[in-house]
Structures are given as C-alpha cells and as structure tokens.
Amino acid sequence: MTDSHAKTPPKKPSSKPSALSSSKPGGAPPDSRFSGLLVFMGGMVLVAVLSGLSFEPGARIFVEGEIAGHDVTAPRDLLIEDQESTLARRDMVAQSQPPIFDLAQMPFAQMARRIVSLLDVIASATPETTPQVQNLVAEELNIRIPAGMWTEWNRQSFQNIVVLEVVPWLEEIYQKGVLADRRFASDITSGMIVRDLTTDNEQLHLSPADFPDLDGVMRALDLHLRVNLNLPVTARRAVEELLAPLLRPNLTLNQETTQARLTSAVLAVDPVFYQIKKGEIIVRKAERVTAEQQQKMQAFFAGQDGGYDWDRFSGVLIISLIFSLGIFNATGKPARQLTTKDALLLATVVLTFAAMAKFVALYRFPLSRELLTMTPDIFVYSLPVAGAAGVLALFFPLLTCVFSGALLAFLCAQMLQAGFDVFLFYLMSAVGCALLLRDAQTRADILRAGLPLLGLLLGTWAALNLLDFQSFSWLAAGAVFSAAGALLSILLLLAFSPVVEYLFGYTSRFKLLEMMSLEQPLLQSLMVNAPGTYHHCLIVANMAEAGAKAVGANPLLAKVAALYHDIGKIKNPHYFIENQFGCENRHDKLAPSMSALILIAHVKKGAELATEHKLGPEITDLIQQHHGTRLIVYFYQKALKMCEEKGTECVREDDFRYPGPKPQSKEAGIILLADAIEASSRTLVDPTPSRVRNHIQNQVRTVFNEGQLDESDLSLKDLNILSETFQRILTGIFHQRIDYPKPEIHAASKPSKSEPTKTLPPRPVPAH
C-alpha cells in the first residue's frame, strides 16, 4: 500500500487549487508581501515624523546691556564665525592678488601702418605741394616741423632706416609689452599677471620693472640709434620726432577682470570659526550682556518656538523608504519573502529604537557635571542597537538583518543628530551581532557571543577614536559605555526573543530545540496512539538532519519538521499499515477512492494539529509539503483495475494525488525524499548495502522525474550527496547480525502438543 512506487511517469497534476495549495507556504503571496511593504513604509513615516520633532526647551534671549537673570548654556554644539579674523584673512588675500594686464599686438600694428603711411605721404610731396603736405603731416603728428627736419624726412635713406631698422626693433620691444607710464605700476608689490589677448595665455611677473614704459622706449630707441645704427644727432632727432607722437602702450590694466579675480579670491577664503560646545556657559547670572553674547544667544535660541524641521523629516523619509525597498527585496526568493507579520515586527523594532534614540538625545544622561563637560555625547555609545539586530537575526535571513541594521544605524544617528562616527559604530555593531548570531542554536550560544561582540564594539570605538584622537580620558569613557552597550544588547536578546516568539508567533531555533523534546504532547500522543508512525518519524528525522547538514540546509528545522511530519496520522492510526501490527487491514473493506481520501487527509489534519499546538508556520508549511503533489500509486492502480473489471468510467488521477504544494525549500525536499525512501525500504527482503543503494537511487530518480523537487532549490549535486547520506544511515539500520546458537530445550521445558507455540507477527509495511 505504499504510494512511492510509480512505474510510469504520472500525469500532470490538476491546476485546480485546493485549500492547502492556495498560496506558497513559507513565503508571502503577492498581496501579503505588498501589504507588508505598506505596513513597513507606514512605520517609516512615523519614524520620519519623530525625527522632525524638536524637544529642546526654549530660552530667553537677553539683549546687550541687560543683566542676565540666570545662567545661559549652549543647548548643542555650534560654530560661530570670527568676523575679525575672517576679515583679516580676506584683506591679506586681497593685497596679495596680482592685477591683470592685457597684452595686445594691435596697437603696434596700427602704429606701423601709420608710420609707413606718413612716409609714403612725405615721399609723394612735390615742390608745388610741399607746403600742403607739410601742413597735413604736422596736423597728423600735432607738432611743428622745422625746415631741416622735413628735408631729413624726405631723404630715401632716412625712410629706409625707419622702415627696415627701427620698425622691426620696435616690434620686438612691443612683443614683450609696453606700459603707458611705469609710475602707475610702481605701487604693485604682488606682481602682475600678463594676459596675451592673442593666445589667452597668462604669465605671472613678480616685478613691473620687467616692462618699459613709453619714455623708456624712447630712451632705448635713442641708444639703439646711436650705438647700434651709429646715426648722427640730426638723423636721431628726426627719427625720434617722427615716432614719438605715434608711440602707444600695448600693456594696459584690465580693471574689470582684476576686480572680478579679486572678488573671487576673497570669497574663496573660508570663514574663521570658533566652536561652542554643548553645555558651555554663554552668559552667567547677574552678568551684563555684551553684544557678542547677545549674538550667540540669538544663534542658539532664535526661531526655537516649537517649529517643525521639515527638511529633516523629508530626508529621513526618503532614505527610509529606499531602505524599505532594499529590505523587502533582500531575500530574493519568493518562498522567503517577507509577510505582513514580518513587516510589523521590523517596523516595531525600528520605531522602538528610533524613539529610544530620540529619548537619549533629549537627556543624554550625564553621570556627573564633570562628565557632562568632558564628554557630553558619550552616552550614545551605550545604545543597544546591536541587540535589536540580534533579535532580528534569530528570525530573518542574514541579508535582511544587514539592511535592517544599516537602517537602524542611520535612524538612530539622525535622532541623535550625531555624526558619521556614531553611524559607523552602530552599523558595525548591528552587522557584527547579526553575523555572530546567525548560527546560534541555544541560549548559551547567545551568551558565548557576548565576548566577541564586546571585542567588536571596543575595537570599533578605539579605531574611531584614533581617527580623531582627543584624550585618553575620552577613550576610557567611550570604552566603558561601549562595553555597557554590549552587555545591554545581550540582556535584550535574552529577554525579548521569547517575547517576540510569543507575540508574533515565530519559531526560533530555541523553540525548535524545545519542540524536539519527547515530552511534547504531540510526540507523546504519536508515540502512544501510532507507535509505528512514531518509529518511522524518528528514522526520517535522523535522515533529514544528516541530509540537511550535507547539503547546507537547516538541519535543526529539517529534523524537527520530520519528527512532526506525520502527526496527522494520530486521528486514524489504524488505517496506516505501520500501526496495524499484523491485524486486519481496514482498507480491504474500503473503496480505493475512500482509502486515498483517508491517506490524503493525514496531511491536512497534521497541518491543523500543528496550528492548534502553535508549532509555527515553518513546521506547518513543511508538513503540508512533505508529500508534494505525488500520486498514491497503489490505490490508483487498484481503482483502475476495478474499473476495468466492472467496465465503468475511468477514475480521475487528481483524486489520488496529495494536494501539495510541492516542496518550496531544501528542507521540504529532503523530508519528502527521506520519507519516501524510509517507507519504501521496509519492502526490501534482503537489505544488503548494494540493494539499499539501488533502492535509494531509484526512489530519488522517481521523485526527480515527477518534478516534485523543481521548486525546492535542490541541485543534482545535492541529490547525489543525499543519496550517499541516506545509504549510510539505512545501511546502519539494516545491518546484519550473526546467528546466535539456539539454547538446548530440556524435556521439562518443552511445550506440550496441546500448547500452541507463540510467534511474533510479521514486520509491517507502512502505507502513506
């Protein structure tokens, strides 16, 4: 009567939903997941609202000249600009900013064209037009031209000297730059920036003496004419009289650009600030208030009339919603996605610790006046954020705990209005605690995690203190509060994990260990009412535990679920052959369809008993999945045979299938395989190791071909490992013993012919 021997591939199961397969167990249906996301986002809205509230008490602002009626202390840290120091630094920068001079080649080009043009006009004069041309040139140069000078200008040799010797020499001078008057640049001590308008290149010159002015050019020209060209005095005067009116500077100060550069440099100077620490006295009682003290009080207390910080609310809300999406997509697999209950727990933990951080920000709990002055914010390092992440690590996957811990660290730092160091401390503590507790199996494991957690917090605090070392007293005080945070986190884990289990109905690893106790009512009832099933569950539990360890699944969950997977047989134990012990088989008097209904019902009844005894959704889901949608082959074939004999309509295959769903996790797939293999192995006549191995491989191949493991995440490699593991266990169960010699039976002890010999019933074969 076993349902595990399918000779032919089964037909495709009906797509008609049943009461047990309407949703994916162990995971969240789309509507539940969406509602869970909405619940969590609603909690984040409340946290954002809390972050924008300000509980700092208001204070009276004393004006200049008034006598202070009480001490006024700074409610928070504040940076105040030192205007005198800032102004002095900006004046220094302004004085050292070099002016901008534009170097243009256009003035020389224009001057050269005028020189050549005037020489052409002079050369074109005839005796009749000389007076008119002379007047025209005089007007152009704005000078009086003596007769001898005009004669010198008319000479061809003179014009050749000017065009071929003097103009090229001037071009070389003008390429470097010529000032109008050096006296205007004599007061420049910061150097000057020369900007070539042709190429837009800029060059810094430390001294204006590098550039000649117009007078300097004329002196250099006279020297050049006298020394290099060896011209007589009349020729030199003629050249100078002709060129002096035409010379123009090509290096000029750019006032607009200079002022813009000066303004930009001044604005680039950072203001000089001095810091007022929280708790520092601004003005003492009975002291006359100065203007500076009034400004400080206005900076602290002006506008603190109960206004709401909408900017902080908006920022916290947006980042929290982004974290929400990350948390709800961290698991990735549909079977492990978060439900509404999960979202409610996450939102409760986050909101509770955010409110706790806000409370700490309000009071800070100084231990003494000296400690308040020395370390006003040191108490925040004792906030047990690590404990919150540890509580979540007992019920959620690691990646979800990492995202939640990062969100907790961010929100607590925002509530405290703390800096990056506090956020990093909380983040390291939360993620570290989640890593330490991901494999915790007992309460003692939590206690053993306390020492590594303490080392992590102390190491993080020491590293953060080294980044901005203040004093050894600060280091010691922070170490004390960090150690207090580690201790509070461990106490919080021990105190609140049972509360979370009870209020939210979670099945933690500790509850699983408690469920393994043979004193549990369900196991007691199974042992008394269905001893054959109880023995079967024990063997399947050992097989499932070993298989889960071998393939990296959860061995504790697999073992506990295997212990309870057949508790539905408590209702009608004698309809299952392992509990009949050689008695009459009740299925002989039932129709195959009725027998199939009784076998199928044990899954539904098992789920109902698990819910009634609060075994948790994880165990309930695995009970529902431990047969998948497999076909009850024995009764299905019996029904087909009866239909053929009677010539009636063929039976429906769907009526002989378990409702499922198929295994949704590795643990469920392992239990299905272990259950089928252990039950069918009882039919082996001579269970030698080779026969056991072949039997296991056939069963695994059959289940795999039926498609029952398609949604369980078990790979082909995992199936090979499971086959070897199950073979090792079953071989140990079916080990052979030596034949012991029979004791001699004395005549006095021989039974009489009238007394029947008692024999043990044959070994039963279970039906599932």
- Look at residue 397 and tell me whether its pLDDT is greater than 60: yes
Amino acid in position 177: G
What pLDDT was estimated at residue 646?
Answer: 72
Q: In which region does residue 411 sit, left (phi positive, over 0), alpha (psi from -120 to 50) or beta (all else)?
A: alpha
The band of 721, judged by pLDDT with boundaries at 50, 70 and 90, is very high
- Look at residue 744 and tell me whether its pLDDT is greater than 70: no
What pLDDT was estimated at residue 669?
Answer: 94
- Look at residue 748 and tell me whether its pLDDT is greater than 60: no
- What values do phi and psi take at 756, rounded to 5? -70, 150
pLDDT of 155-212, one tens digit each? 888 888 988 999 999 989 888 888 888 777 777 878 888 998 888 888 888 888 888 8
Report the distance separating Cα 625 and Cα 616, nearest Å.
Answer: 15
DSSP assignment of 70-105 equals S-EE-SS-EEEE-HHHHHHHHHHHHHHPPPEEEE-S
- For range 459-464, the mean pLDDT: 88
The band of 442, judged by pLDDT with boundaries at 50, 70 and 90, is confident
Q: Specify the higher pLDDT residue, 141 or 739.
A: 141
Which H helix or E strand runs over 195? strand 192-196
What pLDDT was estimated at residue 407?
Answer: 92
- Cα–chain center distance at 286: 53
Amino acid in position 254: N
Supply 540's token pair: 């399947």
- Cα–chain center distance at 489: 23
Tell me the pLDDT of the chain averaged across its residues: 81
Cis ω for the linkage preceding 661 (within 30 of 0): yes
What pLDDT was estimated at residue 4?
Answer: 38
The band of 508, judged by pLDDT with boundaries at 50, 70 and 90, is confident
What pLDDT was estimated at residue 302?
Answer: 62
46-55, 115-124, 214-223, 634-643: least confident range: 46-55
DSSP 180: S
Q: Tell me the C-alpha to C-alpha distance, in Å, between residue 490 and each of 387, 443, 446, 461, 716.
A: 6, 10, 7, 18, 41
Q: Whole-angstrom distance between the N-terminal and C-terminal Cα of the chain?
A: 8
46-60, 66-80, 204-218: least confident range: 46-60
- For range 739-767, the mean pLDDT: 45
What pLDDT was estimated at residue 671?
Answer: 94
130-139, 586-595, 746-755: least confident range: 746-755
- Look at residue 82 and tell me whether its pLDDT is greater than 70: yes
What pLDDT was estimated at residue 371?
Answer: 41
Q: Of all residues in the chain, what percent carry a pLDDT higher than 90? A: 16
Cβ count near 536 (within 10 Å):
24
Which H helix or E strand runs over 276? strand 273-276
- For range 659-668, the mean pLDDT: 90
Among residues 573, 579, 562, 554, the alpha carbon closest in space to that of 515 is found at 562
Strand bridging mode 251-253 / 273-276 = unpaired
Among residues 436, 424, 460, the alpha carbon closest in space to that of 387 is found at 436
What pLDDT was estimated at residue 741?
Answer: 60
Q: The dihedral of CA 616, 620, 623, 629: what is its sign?
A: negative
What pLDDT was estimated at residue 574?
Answer: 79
65-74, 138-147, 360-369, 750-759: least confident range: 750-759
- For 589, counting Cβ atoms within 10 Å of its Cβ (0-12 exposed, 13-18 middle, 19+ buried), the class is exposed
The band of 334, judged by pLDDT with boundaries at 50, 70 and 90, is very low
- For range 527-543, the mean pLDDT: 89
- Look at residue 57 and tell me whether its pLDDT is greater than 60: no
DSSP assignment of 729-757 equals HHHHHT---PPPPPPPPPGGGSPPTTSPP
- For range 445-449, the mean pLDDT: 85
Among residues 521, 509, 601, the alpha carbon closest in space to that of 558 is found at 509
How many degrees, rounded to 5, is the angle at CA 467 between CA 465 and CA 472? 35
- Cα–chain center distance at 579: 55
What pLDDT was estimated at residue 304?
Answer: 54
Full-model pTM: 0.55
